[in-house]
Amino acid sequence: MTHWFHRNPLKATAPVSFNFYGVASSPAANKICNDLKMARARLLEMFTDLTCTPEIMKNATDAYFSLLQGFIVSLDGTTQENKMRFFQNFKWTDTLQGNAPSAQQDAVFELASMAFNVALWYTKFASRLAGKENVTEAEAKEVHKSLKTAAGIFKHLKEAYIPRLITPAEKGRDLEARVIDTFIVQCQAEAQEVTIARAIELKHNASLIAALSFETANFYQKADHTLNTLEPDYSSKWRKYLQLKQHFYMAYTLGQRNVCLPPIRSLQEAEKCYSRAEALCKEYRQTKGPGSTAKPSEQLFFLKLGALIKNTLEKCQRENGFIYFHKVPAEAPQLELKASYGLAEPVPFEFPPLSDQCSPQVYATFDLTKGPKDDKAKPKQEEEVKPVKEPDLKPQKDTGCVIS
């Protein structure tokens, strides 16, 4: 389903030469710097290469991160910070903040920012694969795995590396807690969407699907609430997407006549949720903000659900009027559904081991006393980092899920 998922833009970054003239005082140290430059450039190219696969991406990330950790991990046998950690300045934009970059002279900032982009790539790869016509079971599994992999990367950064930053992320920046928490939950919710779609196609038990749909709606609600204290100028569009997905999956849950009882009252609530999801789709399209614009209301899965709820409600009302004569309660039903399978957990992520090139002997040949002196001249005006030109998604024929 092309354009089913909202995607925030990739982070952009300023070039880094790693030209440590004088500081890298041995051929081995110079080779590390040169390899870092090439590995970084290749990884950045992979983010926009449509032929890139998860295997290619992993090789590119391992090549860069295994070398970069030589500037982060302590290599001199002490507990002190690596002497190279704060030597190079890095600039990165943020997915919600336009082209004005954040800059930190910290290799941990570079590691976290680049890994954040890797996680974004996995979400975009999943979106492209899900947008193909007639997605196979193997491809659906790859979409599911990619979204959980992205969640695992975000989670690992939040727990192990972002707390190590000397300068905490400012409000609304990518490495700030609310933003990264939202990405984690969104990835989990979208992975569960894949499970729901597959379960519908395989005609699994309606109560199991409804329970997973209910949990997914709650995930989207949680993600939306996480963003509610950020500035509307840059968070409103993202929040509209999260809200429309929440109402859509609540509509699906309540629309299961044999699961949510009493059926007429549940279906009436389902109709309200679906109408709200339709309205939010329009609001989402009209809201300005960063990221690609999803088009869920144009997908067959979305359209079929609306027709199913309407037809099922009319049928139940006819049957009740002629046969059962049950009183329809005024209060909406309280759902107590708990998914017993299909809940998506982030795939545990670890950075690759330190490269063999980064030995203590080579590390000792980096001599900071031979580095450039502090430049006390007037600082240059902050330059914009050019945004990443991302490939367009070409719409494919939508076969949709068979909802029955």
With beta carbons less than 8 A apart as the criterion, state whether 143 and 156 touch.
no
With a cut of 50, say whether residue 172 has pLDDT above it.
yes
Q: What angle do CA 240, 246, 248 make, to 5 degrees?
A: 100
pTM: 0.91
Write the burial class of residue 27 (CB in 10 Å: 0-12 exposed, 13-18 middle, 19+ buried). exposed
Summarised one tens digit per residue, pLDDT across range 43-92 is: 999 999 999 999 999 999 999 999 999 999 998 878 889 999 999 999 99
Whole-angstrom distance, CA of residue 253 vs CA of residue 219: 14
Q: Is 124 helix (H, G, I), strand (E, B) or coil?
A: helix
Summarised one tens digit per residue, pLDDT across range 214-241 is: 999 999 999 999 999 999 999 999 999 9
Whole-angstrom distance, CA of residue 60 vs CA of residue 259: 47
Token pair for 229:
């204290």
With beta carbons less than 8 A apart as the criterion, state whether 118 and 57 touch.
yes
Cross-strand bridge partners of residue 90: 104
pLDDT at res. 264: 81
pLDDT at res. 390: 87
- The CA-atom distances, in angstroms, between 284 and each of 200, 238, 245, 257, 327 are 27, 8, 11, 29, 38
Write the burial class of residue 205 (CB in 10 Å: 0-12 exposed, 13-18 middle, 19+ buried). exposed
Whole-angstrom distance, CA of residue 149 vs CA of residue 21: 38
Give the residue-averaged pLDDT of 197-215.
Answer: 91
Query: Considering the chain, what percentage of its residues have pLDDT values greater than 90?
Result: 70
- The CA-atom distances, in angstroms, between 189 and each of 30, 241, 275, 302, 357 are 45, 12, 21, 17, 40
- The CA-atom distances, in angstroms, between 368 and each of 10, 24, 47, 75 are 34, 9, 33, 15
Summarised one tens digit per residue, pLDDT across range 300-328 is: 899 999 999 999 888 877 765 555 555 55
Whole-angstrom distance, CA of residue 221 vs CA of residue 243: 7
Summarised one tens digit per residue, pLDDT across range 130-167 is: 988 888 999 999 999 999 999 999 999 999 999 999 99
Give the residue-averaged pLDDT of 28-45.
Answer: 97
User: At 71, which amino acid appears?
Assistant: F
pLDDT at res. 378: 42
User: What would the 3-class secondary structure string for 217-271 be?
Assistant: HHHHHHHHHHCCCCCHHHHHHHHHHHHHHHHHHHHHHHCCCCCCCCHHHHHHHHH
Token pair for 223:
């993600």
Band (pLDDT 50/70/90 cuts) for residue 3 is confident
- The CA-atom distances, in angstroms, between 361 and each of 18, 26, 65, 70, 338 are 20, 10, 20, 12, 56
pLDDT at res. 235: 96
DSSP secondary structure string, 263-325? Answer: HHHHHHHHHHHHHHHHHHHHHHHHS--SSB---GGGSHHHHHHHHHHHHHHHHHHHHIIIII-
CA-nearest of 137, 54, 194, 129 to 396 is 129
DSSP secondary structure string, 72-103? Answer: TS--SSSSSPPTTTTTS-EEE--TTSTTPPEE
Higher pLDDT, 209 or 398: 209
Query: Considering the chain, what percentage of its residues have pLDDT values greater than 70?
Result: 87
Residue owning tokens 């990264």: 180
